[in-house]
A = this chain, B = another copy of it.
Amino acid sequence: MAPVKVFGPVMSTNVARVVVCLEEVGAEYEMVDIDFKVMEHKSPEHLARNPFGQIPAFQDGDLLLFESRAISKYVLRKYKTEEVDLLREGDLAEAAMVDVWTEVDAQTYNPAISPIVYECLINPMMRGIPTNDKVVAESLEKLTKVLEVYEARLAKSKYLAGDFFSFADLNHFPYTFYFMGTPHAALFDSFPHVKAWWETIMARPAVQRMAAKMVPNKA
């Protein structure tokens, strides 16, 4: 069987979300480059994969998918084993807690942390735009409040959805990984349970392999 294909650069946080899931389940996959300079993301071939012309897109035989969380869940369901079951859909309450904290990442954590990553890394390093300190300060204030809730949660359970590692935790990887490369990484030191949780995630072999792909010169 041909390996599944992921379209887009692995350095993109949304592409990385999909690829870290593939690494966790140990699936064979192929990365396919999309050349933004020649507008390949707006080509008929890519629009057939994703009608909004964005990345990532995904192919498994005849099945074409887009939206990183949807692709990730497909991957986690398809390659689920007794040992690697990151959605827990066999248990109503566990699946619900995975969904709750996956939504918290999407609706609350990401909107607080992502502007800091854009302002401190992506804008100055890749776009030649200076850091907007006001945006960073406001986002750090938001993120601090979010981390207070996470600290209380992670004082009660080892992982976000319960005492099991899940997709909810894994969703936090791409942005938090880049955040740790900004001058504000020490914010996590004030939240010992969050910090320990993050270190547990980073210690996973699949996550280590991803880190080496996302920042190749640091590997």
A-side residues, CB < 8 A to B, are: 51-52, 63, 65-71, 73-74, 77-78, 89, 92-93, 95-97, 99-100, 102-104, 106-108, 149, 152-153
B104 and A92 contacting across the interface, CB-CB below 8 Å = no
**Seed contacts A52-B108, A67-B104, A70-B96; 12 additional CB < 8 Å A-B pairs:** A51-B153, A65-B96, A67-B99, A67-B100, A67-B103, A68-B103, A69-B103, A70-B103, A73-B95, A74-B99, A77-B89, A106-B106
- Of all chain B residues, which has the CB nearest A77? B92
The quantity of this chain's copies bound in the complex is 2
Q: With A69-B99, A78-B92 as given contacts, are A149 and B51 in contact (CB-CB < 8 Å)?
A: yes
CB-nearest residue of chain B relative to A62?
B93
Given contacts A69-B103, A103-B67, A149-B51, contact A96 B108 (CB under 8 A): no
List of 9 A-B pairs having minimum Cβ-Cβ separation, nearest first? A70-B99, A67-B103, A74-B96, A70-B100, A51-B149, A67-B100, A70-B103, A73-B99, A69-B103
Contacts of A70 in B (CB 8 A): 96, 99-100, 102-103
Instruction: Report the minimum CB–CB distance from A190 to chain B (whole Å).
Output: 18
Smallest Cβ distance from A62 to chain B, in angstroms?
9
- Residues of B near A107 (CB, < 8 A) are 67
Q: Name the B residues within 8 Å of A152 (CB-CB).
A: 51
Residues of B within 8 A of A71 (CB): 96
Measured between beta carbons, the chain B residues less than 8 angstroms from A153 are: 51
Q: 26 A-B pairs, CB-CB below 8 angstroms?
A: A51-B152, A51-B153, A52-B104, A52-B108, A63-B93, A63-B96, A65-B96, A65-B97, A65-B100, A66-B100, A67-B100, A67-B104, A68-B103, A69-B99, A70-B96, A70-B102, A71-B96, A73-B95, A73-B96, A74-B92, A74-B96, A77-B89, A77-B92, A77-B95, A78-B92, A89-B89
